[in-house]
Amino acid sequence: MKKIIALLIGLLLPLSGFAEVIQFEANESPPYWSKNMPHNGMCGEILQAMSELAGLQSTVVFKPLKRLIADTENNDVGNPDFYLQHNDFYSIIPIAIYQSAFYYYKPSYPTGITLHNLADLKHYNIGVLKGTLIDQLSFKQHGINFETSYKQESIFKKLKLGRIDLALEIDLIAYHTLHNLYPGQHKDFAIIQLPNSISPIALMINESQPNAEEITQLYRQALTTLIQSGRYQKIIQKYYGDLSFPPKQFKHLERFNRLYNFY
Amino acid sequence: MLNINYKARLSFLLCLCVYSAPSFATGPRVAPSLFTSNTAFLYTSDFPPFISNKAENQGLLIEIINTVLKSSDITAEVNILPSKNMAKYYFSQENALAIIGYDFNFSKKTQQKSIFVPILSIDEYYYTHASVQQEFKWNGKLSSFKNKVYGTTKGNNVEKYKAAGIKVKYGRLHNLLQKMQKGQVDFIKSPQLTLNAELHTDFPQQQSAFIKMETKAAESVLGIAFNTQHADGKQSAEKFKQGLQKIITSAEFNSILQGYLGSEVDVKPYLKHLK
């Protein structure tokens, strides 16, 4: 009888830990994460579906990125590379991937723009979002100039006005921005894909999260189930519309999983 | 004591940190590696002032390496990653040309396929927090730290600490210093230059609370490990060794060191491994 009671206590103890809502912190980056979109955006919807499958309760709180990076004891979401410089996590669970691309305004370049290597970029003024430039000095040494903007909309407005030659942006964000800014004209903007730009969006579980090990296992299993059931693909299809998915997305998800959990 | 040249570099680094903070956690990370294909990469992680994305020429060690690469006609790009384990992953799992740094803690299999070229000797020291300073009597033996908590970066070798009965907690240097303030970590190991850079930028008011234990903790050697499984690995290692020797002999090595550490710097301790 004592053994049965001990076993029941053992089984119930971890469950009591999961009764609390697991809080993830994100910064506003639609359509991936947004407090103004249903389900908090594409990744918010994936997280919600994973939590349901895992039998967990989760919530997403939105804060400025600087505060997210400064807080070393919270669960984060986003591209781990932005956080790993300052934060350590118990586990990192990649849940989606994204890729970036160059855009140019076709009427300004009727014969097109062709890029072969880094040196080709010297000939153009490139618009990027403020804060996304890594190794700025190296670009400067290569003679490559960037013009930064605070909003995605500003980048594409500048592109149409000819104030910049190329815009560098995540393809899904560009797709939504162009559809909102210039409905019916988005085909005037040509795209040059960057195959090396594939990056992950991940759940990052902090070491101080109670039951971090069990929660990680439950979320990993939930993601596998979500993909196998086809529900994952249906969620992202809603956001991608007629834009192509990043190639080999599941292969990349597995690779990022190995990369960020390599010891 | 930091020299003026080094202080100026740190101030510049601080300005970059302040003005280039990212706005979106799900956004493009615009680095030169985005635009290069068929390029051999040398992977490493941040270790200022030796390796840093925010420093001119990517830091002291990377400037030496890039100088040797150029003079030896080795085509490869340095890619500074946010964590040491990521660099180790690319080296051991994706057959990268080389990894830069030290204390790689490779598996036996990975160790066997690497050729390490030593470049720079550095002295490391143990640091503790003033609040627990009295509890430490560092006598050169790790057993004197039994039951204490050692903080280090994931990917480093911690076997000897565990064997001495020392608990281990992981974190970035910034994170470890915060944990020391909170009493969660008792001591860490770091080169003085690296610790000073971190304290100067992120803990300017608390610098005196972090106490250096005077007896040296370790003599380490920063360098580059080439991958013999990579098509160009063995040849590049050989060319690199010769190229490095040339810049040491020609005093170009000294000139780079002086550029970072001041004209009065004594170069000999940084080349101890050559004896």
B24-53 confidence digits (pLDDT tens): 666 677 777 777 666 799 999 999 999 998
Residues of chain A falling short of pLDDT 70: 1-18, 135
The two structure tokens encoding residue B11:
């101030």
Main-chain phi, psi angles of B76, to 5 degrees? -160, 150
pLDDT at B49 (0 to 100)? 93
pLDDT at A237 (0 to 100)? 96
pLDDT at B135 (0 to 100)? 84
The string of pLDDT tens digits covering residues A17-51 is 467 899 999 988 889 999 999 999 999 999 999 99
pLDDT at B21 (0 to 100)? 45
Helix/strand/coil for B21: coil
A146 lies within 8 A of chain B by CB = yes
pLDDT at B74 (0 to 100)? 95
| Complete edge-to-edge strand list for the sheet that includes strand A22-26 | A58-62, A22-26, A75-78, A199-205, A91-98
pLDDT at A194 (0 to 100)? 87
Chain-chain contact of B25 with A86 (C-beta, under 8 angstroms): no
Residues 180-239 of A with CB under 8 A from B: 194-197, 199, 201
pLDDT at A214 (0 to 100)? 96
A4: closest CA of chain B, how far (Å) = 35
Domain covering B123-218 in this structure, CATH number: 3.40.190.10
pLDDT at A133 (0 to 100)? 77
Q: Please tell me the distance from the alpha carbon of residue A122 to that of residue A144, in angstroms, as a whole number.
A: 5
User: What domains are defined for chain A?
Assistant: 20-97+198-260 (3.40.190.10), 100-197 (3.40.190.10)
pLDDT at A1 (0 to 100)? 53
Q: Please tell me the distance from the alpha carbon of residue B42 to that of residue B224, in angstroms, as a whole number.
A: 9
Facing residues of A75 across strands?
A: A24
Residues of chain B falling short of pLDDT 50: 1-22
Main-chain phi, psi angles of A205, to 5 degrees? -90, 120
Chain-chain contact of B25 with A27 (C-beta, under 8 angstroms): yes
A8 lies within 8 A of chain B by CB = no
A:B CB pairs within 8 Å: 147
pTM of the model: 0.85
Chain-chain contact of B34 with A100 (C-beta, under 8 angstroms): yes
Domain ranges of chain B: 40-122+221-274, 123-218
Say which of A32, A139, A146 has its CB closest to residue B26: A32
B-chain residues within 8 Å CB-CB of A135? 31-32, 53, 58, 80
Chain-chain contact of A33 with B93 (C-beta, under 8 angstroms): no
The string of pLDDT tens digits covering residues B93-143 is 999 999 999 999 999 999 999 999 999 999 999 999 999 988 888 888 999
Say which of A29, A115, A259 has its CB closest to residue B26: A29
The two structure tokens encoding residue A97:
């991937």
Chain-chain contact of A72 with B29 (C-beta, under 8 angstroms): no
DSSP tally for chain A: helices H, then strands E: 9, 10
pLDDT at A2 (0 to 100)? 55
Same fold, B40-122+221-274 and B123-218: yes
B25: closest CA of chain A, how far (Å) = 5
pLDDT at A67 (0 to 100)? 85
pLDDT at A82 (0 to 100)? 85
Tell me: ipTM over 0.90.
Answer: no
Mutation for A interface: B19, B26, B53, B80, most A CBs within 10 A: B26
B-chain residues within 8 Å CB-CB of A86? 172, 174-175
pLDDT at B8 (0 to 100)? 43
Chain-chain contact of A100 with B53 (C-beta, under 8 angstroms): no
Q: Which CATH class is domain B40-122+221-274?
A: alpha beta
A73 lies within 8 A of chain B by CB = no
Q: Please tell me the distance from the alpha carbon of residue B228 to that of residue B26, in angstroms, as a whole number.
A: 36
